[in-house]
Structure 1
């Protein structure tokens, strides 16, 4: 019968530079990972994960509560923002909290089962969040650019969009639970994610990484760039046709800024993780610092904070309701805050040149 140490050898990765005859002496499930960094690094990561846990949970809970509290927020176009908040809440309440406790202890104290749970939930929530950003872009392209004419976006379409994000996320996050790749500690070994370090043919990690890159990064990014590119083109056409309209010019500037921030936020969140994973896959045998994997992992978890800021707080209607909820019904904004940027853009595009 395998003893406890032997069982753990199948569930973590030790780079060649740190290999020893007694590999379990470095197990992230058994001992503090002091060989990977000093106490200052672990304390800094503990503080950062605590910040993500508290702020990420608070912001996303506030988004959900606001939608329940204010009927005017329960529009079809806002369903996907609530869906994004639910996904972010899953990551912050489980992924960030687990990482916070583990960084505090300097090793993953929840064991192999906890690693699989944390890795799965963080990947699931992250993928739902990622696909939600693509669906938001697609929705705005349909409503504002009108590629299929006067398309009427209904509740059924919003529900289908939300369901699609969870379906695609499950396709990406379930396989490691059944042998296509696996969930193991990553970076400083205090949080878990898919195994893209090893070349063990038993898990086919390379094919899984390529699947994630193409299906869960390349395709959504293409959708986002195409849809927002078309959106900007439509707005510029409308602004050119109404050069004397100050409101049209203002709407174009606001939406241009919003689109740039959205695309930039997506790239900051996912580009480092995708690039690092691909580099490791295509440079097998090349030495790399395992601790560097902590950086892209943290950026992904940080999206639970800055995604709501971009997608919710830049929506004037959501922002106004949040301020009213926080300040007990007294919004610090004026009445014009009830009109969202998306509504302004829709009005501008609707009077643009006919196609």
Structure 2
């Protein structure tokens, strides 16, 4: 019975150090605090950070969804995609960040193997939906402003269909570890969970899963984002040059350029740490590394539930004015008028 219990635990986590299997329960991340990985102060600081992400990430994304429900003028095709991303962020913050806050407070994965799988799956699902939503936003902006399909009108039903597609893609990436292709295990300080990047030569085929994630869930959407936004910037610069005397066109070009830079930087900050870390592990099997470093990509990814809404929603004047109204704050007439003017000017820069 004792031997079976040890095997069960070792199936659900990985340790980069030689451990006496007779004493595996003394270091299992599901049984005891992981104080060998850091001081209590570090664990409590991480718990405080996760609590901050839980509170602000949950609050700002609920507010985004509530605003769209209350104000009919926000129900445009672009805002549907923003709401789709808010729903994904809400899943990550309310489940992933809260679970991490709770486990960091106890200094180990107190929720056990099942809780680890749930946290890893929901964080992966929400993160992938958010990632693909960023690509969909870039694709939508390219279609609407650059008009590569001529007079094709991107409508709400197209946006809803593409939002559904983001969930299909996300499930295709997050479900495999639940059914045997890789697995969800504790990572970093062993208080959060993610795909198994570490083990090799086992029944889980972790190397192929990591490459699948890198190609399908990083390289493809990143290529879409880079292509669409580069074309968008070229179109805007061409329009601004042709209308050099128009101050409003010049202003629109500057605003969109600034937004594009923030969007691409936000994508890179969120997903490059995970992608680079996973690739390094896969290509440097057997090389020593500090397991605690795996906490960095996890924290940066969960932080996207806060900074993505800031970039995509709070910098959207229409959303911002509606949020102010919902919170009982005063809204100047300039907010709505500048939103309408900016939208009109940017829509006009595409080819006829």
Moved over 4 A (4+): 339-343, 351-354
Query: Equivalent residues in 2 for 1:28-67 (5 A)?
Result: 28-67=29-68
319, 344, 347: which one pairs with 2:345?
Answer: 347
Residue in 2 that maps onto 1:338: 336
Report the counterpart of residue 19 of structure 1 in structure 2: 19
1:211 aligns with 2:209: no
1:75 positional shift:
1.4
Task: Give the distance between the partners of 2:267 and 2:334, measured in 1 at CA.
Answer: 29
Deviation of the 1:14 alpha carbon: 0.4
Q: C-alpha separation between the residues in 1 aligned to 2:261 and 2:190?
A: 34
Seen in structure 2, the aligned counterparts of structure 1 residues 339 and 89 have a Cα distance that, compared at 3 Å, is: farther
Superposed, 1:261-276 pairs within 5 Å as 261-276=262-277
Given the alignment of the two structures, is residue 154 of structure 1 paired with residue 152 of structure 2, yes or no?
no
Q: Is contact 2:92-2:122 (8 Å) kept?
A: yes
1:181/1:203 contact within 8 Å kept:
yes
Cα shift readout 1:257-304 (whole Å, capped 9, x = no counterpart) = 100000000000000110001000000000000000000110000000
What pairs with 1:279-298 in structure 2 (closer than 5 Å)? 279-298=280-299
Give the TM-score, by structure 1 length: 0.95
Match of 2:308 in 1: 307
CA distance in structure 1 between the aligned counterparts of 2:12 and 2:236, rounded to whole angstroms? 52
Q: Is the 8 A contact 1:234 1:349 kept in 2?
A: no
Q: Partners of 1:287 and 1:351 in 2: how far apart?
A: 53
CA deviation profile, 1:71-107 (whole Å, cap 9, x unmatched): 1111122100000000000000000000000000000
Flag the 1:127–1:316 CA change in 2: closer, same or farther, 3 A. Answer: same
The aligned counterpart of 2:240 is 239
In the alignment, the residues of structure 2 paired with residue 182 and residue 40 of structure 1 have an alpha-carbon distance, to the nearest angstrom, of 30
Give the Cα separation in 2 of the matches to 1:255 and 1:347.
11
**Aligned mates of 1:339, 1:212 — CA distance in 2:** 43
Correspondences of 1:84-233 after superposition (within 5 Å): 84-233=85-234
Task: State whether residues 146 and 351 of structure 2, in contact with CA within 8 Å, keep that contact through their aligned partners in structure 1.
Answer: no
Deviations 1:304-327 (A, max 9, x none): 00000001011110011011111x
| Cα gap change, 1:348 to 1:309, in 2 (>3 Å) | closer
Correspondence for 1:321:
322
Whether the aligned pair in 2 keeps the contact of 1:180 and 1:208 (CA below 8 Å) is yes
Q: What TM-score do you get using the length of structure 2 for normalisation?
A: 0.96
Corresponding residue number in structure 1 for 2:84? 83
SS at match of 2:314: coil
CA distance in 2, matches of 1:343, 1:137: 21
Question: CA separation in 2, counterparts of 1:199 and 1:343?
Answer: 56
Distance 1:176 1:99 in 2: 20
- Please give the alpha-carbon distance, in whole angstroms, between the structure 1 residues aligned to 2:337 and 2:212: 40
Aligned length: 350
Segment drifting more, 344-353 vs 51-60: 344-353
Counterpart CA distance in 1 for 2:137 and 2:340 is 11
Aligned CA distance change for structure 1 residues 288 and 245 (closer, same or farther; 3 Å): same
Q: 1:237 to 1:341 in 2, by over 3 A?
A: farther
Asked if the contact 1:187–1:294 (Cα under 8 Å) also holds between the matched residues in 2, the reply is yes
Distance of aligned partners of 1:119 and 1:60 in 2 relative to their CA distance in 1, 3 Å threshold: same
Gaps of 5+ in 2: none
Gaps of 5+ in 1: none
Contact preservation (8 Å) 1:143, 1:346: no
Q: Matches of 1:341 and 1:197 in 2, distance apart? A: 48
